[in-house]
Structure 1
Amino acid sequence: MKKSVFFGALTAAALAAGVAGAATLDDVKSRGELICGVNTGLVGFAAPDANGNWSGFDVAVCQAVAAAVLGDPSKVKYVPTTGQTRFTALGSGEVDLLARNTTWTYSRDTDLKLQFTATNYYDGQGFMVRKDSGVTSAKELDGASICIQTGTTTELNLADYFKANNMSYQPITVDSNAEGEQQFLAGACDAYTTDASGLAATRAAFANPQDYVILPEIISKEPLAPAVRQGDDQWTDIVRWTIFGLIAAEEYGVTSANIDELAKGTENPEVNRMLGTEGDLGAMLGLDKQWLVRAIKANGNYGEIFAATIGEQTPIGLARGLNAQWTQGGLLYAPPFR
């Protein structure tokens, strides 16, 4: 789930350089479809149902961008990617957008030539254990076997944490969250580590989720952000400001239920600019005035998406925490639309 840092860096960088400057917006429009790289299957974030229909928090980003650019949130092709394949898929042009719980890091931003658009989930790495193990703190995992996805920042964070606390562990490497889940449930490891949100999503899919505990320690900063290739500023701006638009819509009370009425004009100039009744911000992106109206209507504002996919009333059960609006003590903050 987390994120390859150095593995394949040169290859990904070379691939990115080969497609840098490509007019992604033109490609998407001519194709009539947005190709979005997502997780291979993480309930609440990105997972297909029995009929192959994708849904989740990350999927909503893909759909909002498709709605903004193509006028239809359903015009998306989902490409499942692993921690090992996601950056190559983006750098080679196989996908237009990577919306897959991926941490924004220095090396990915610079060495891999990725362009992170906007953090849409503030996360941190945690640990999950069986409740009957009696373990209540990560500090009690000295000597434990720990399932961990290979080629990810999770590996580096884990090594740092255990070294800093003078503890040892036995890594049990897996290639995907599905494999990690299987190994953990089979008892091949004492604990499973990845993003705390990923642990919550994984546990929710267990037959008996109450038998497993997510420990209180968060050992890293994991700002998760959709990414595009470097070299196409227009496409970067479209994805970035679509995400900011979803965040700002929640701040200003623009919802899927009232947006049609608000799009006729309001007393708030900022909302009017966002929804295209004042000025023409869409033209600056190569889009029409209603681009953000369509993006918000696709699945609602940020808060609506969060609540419907991973919020406290879902099986995932995540509280807003750091992902609350800045006005509510969180870190979500969209720059001004002007």
Structure 2
Amino acid sequence: MKKTVIFGALTVAGLAAGAAGAATLDDVKARGKLNCGVTTGLAGFAAPNANGEWEGFDVAVCRAVAAAVLGDKNAVEFVPTTGKTRFTALASGEIDFLARNTTWTFSRDTDLKFDFIGVNYYDGQGFMVPKALGVSSAKDLDGATVCIQTGTTTELNLADFFRKNNISYEPVPVETNAEGQQQYLAGACDTYTTDASGLAATRATFETPGDHVLLPEIISKEPLGPLVRHGDNEWGDITRWVLNALIAAEELGITSANIEEMTGNTNNPEIARLLGTEGTLGEMIGLDNEWAKRAIMAEGNYGEIFAKNIGEETPIGLARGLNAQWTDGGLLYAPPVR
């Protein structure tokens, strides 16, 4: 659901260099919609609901950007992408913005000519196994068959882990999370490995989630975040500060429920600047002064988005952990809004 092995890097980088020549903001405004790359389907993060409408944690970021730029959170065309196709779609200009549980790495940021605009979920790679397998540690998986998505650095992390622990495995390649889930449930592999959040999301869709366990080992750092092409700094600034606005809003106590009341009725200068009643922040990024207000109103602040889609009260059941605000011992930290 995330990371790519850098094959075809020169092709992707070449496409990105060409596509970045156009001003993405102008293209999005002229088109009247944001083309947003998402996963092919992962519960809680990005998946169509029963009515065919996309929803989820990553989808909410797309809608916030659309609201800020176009004034309509529904002015989004969601483009499903796989681990192999996502970077070509962004580099070629097929999509304007990739919000697809993608890990920020050195090579993606530099060699592939992309810019990560921040981290919206701090994660790590884990393992899921059937409880009946009787395994309590990933170090007990010597000789196991492992379902793993192709075109991802999950493969590299997996190889490193087994090599370091002097154990062996047999990979079972899959293209999408749906295929990985199907193969795992069919018994084609002993374990499925991907981001721990993705495993929790996948397990939540099982008929009997309790028959499957997530092993305690987290074998990598996976800072997941949206990204854009190199070379269009204005678009990078807009999308980066939309994400920062969602994070800052939670810290400042601004919610989708109280935002109207707080607009123009606050003694906090940072809230006033963020909601556009003071200063000219919108002008600095080519938007009007209510860009952040619309972004927050779209799906709520970061905390609201987390709680609604993947939080402890949802079937996904994820605790905030590292994704708590810095004031609560987490890593979330928006730069000052001034």
Query: Shorter chain as normaliser: what TM range?
Result: over 0.9
Question: How far, CA to CA, are the matches of 2:277 and 2:266 in structure 1?
Answer: 9
Contact 1:22–1:231 (Cα < 8 Å) also in 2: no
Contact 1:246–1:296 (Cα < 8 Å) also in 2: yes
2:60 counterpart SS class: helix
Partner of 1:168 in structure 2? 168
Partner of 1:86 in structure 2? 86
Letter of the 2:138 counterpart: A
Question: How far, CA to CA, are the matches of 1:177 and 1:8 in structure 2?
Answer: 22
Deviations 1:127-148 (A, max 9, x none): 0000111111111111111100
1:108 counterpart SS class: helix
Question: How far, CA to CA, are the matches of 1:56 and 1:7 in structure 2?
Answer: 29
* Alignment of 1:154 onto 2:154: yes
Partner of 2:211 in structure 1? 211
Deviations 1:190-227 (A, max 9, x none): 00000000000000111111110011110000000100
Contact 1:311–1:320 (Cα < 8 Å) also in 2: yes
- How much has 1:51 moved relative to structure 2? 2.4
Deviations 1:238-264 (A, max 9, x none): 100000000000001000010001112
- How much has 1:20 moved relative to structure 2? 1.8
Contact 2:101–2:225 (Cα < 8 Å) also in 1: yes
Partner of 1:266 in structure 2? 266
Pairs within 5 Å for 1:282-321:
282-321=282-321
Partner of 1:248 in structure 2? 248
Question: How far, CA to CA, are the matches of 1:184 and 1:42 in structure 2?
Answer: 15
- How much has 1:11 moved relative to structure 2? 1.2
- Measured on the aligned residues, the alpha-carbon RMSD in Å equals 0.7
Q: Which consecutive unaligned segments of at least 5 residues does structure 1 have?
A: none
2:119 counterpart SS class: coil
Question: How far, CA to CA, are the matches of 2:268 and 2:283 in structure 1?
Answer: 21
Q: TM-score if structure 2 supplies the norm length?
A: 0.99
* Alignment of 1:183 onto 2:191: no
Letter of the 1:330 counterpart: G
Moved over 6 A (4+): none
Question: How far, CA to CA, are the matches of 1:303 and 1:49 in structure 2?
Answer: 21
Pairs within 5 Å for 1:206-245:
206-245=206-245
Letter of the 1:322 counterpart: L
Deviations 1:91-139 (A, max 9, x none): 0000000000000000000110011001010000000000111111111
Contact 1:123–1:196 (Cα < 8 Å) also in 2: yes
Contact 2:2–2:100 (Cα < 8 Å) also in 1: no
- How much has 1:84 moved relative to structure 2? 0.3
Contact 1:5–1:107 (Cα < 8 Å) also in 2: no
Q: Which consecutive unaligned segments of at least 5 residues does structure 2 have?
A: none
* Alignment of 1:44 onto 2:44: yes
- How much has 1:151 moved relative to structure 2? 1.2
Partner of 2:72 in structure 1? 72
1:147 counterpart SS class: strand
2:277 counterpart SS class: coil
Question: How far, CA to CA, are the matches of 1:118 and 1:267 in structure 2?
Answer: 29
Question: How far, CA to CA, are the matches of 1:102 and 1:189 in structure 2?
Answer: 24
**How many residues are matched?**
338
Deviations 1:274-310 (A, max 9, x none): 0111101010010001000000000100000000000
Deviations 1:72-98 (A, max 9, x none): 100000000000000000000000000
- How much has 1:8 moved relative to structure 2? 2.1
Contact 1:250–1:301 (Cα < 8 Å) also in 2: yes
* Alignment of 1:102 onto 2:102: yes
Question: How far, CA to CA, are the matches of 1:5 and 1:265 in structure 2?
Answer: 50
Partner of 2:128 in structure 1? 128
Question: How far, CA to CA, are the matches of 1:26 and 1:151 in structure 2?
Answer: 32
Tell me which moved more, 74-83 or 5-14: 5-14
Question: How far, CA to CA, are the matches of 2:287 and 2:86 in structure 1?
Answer: 28
2:52 counterpart SS class: coil
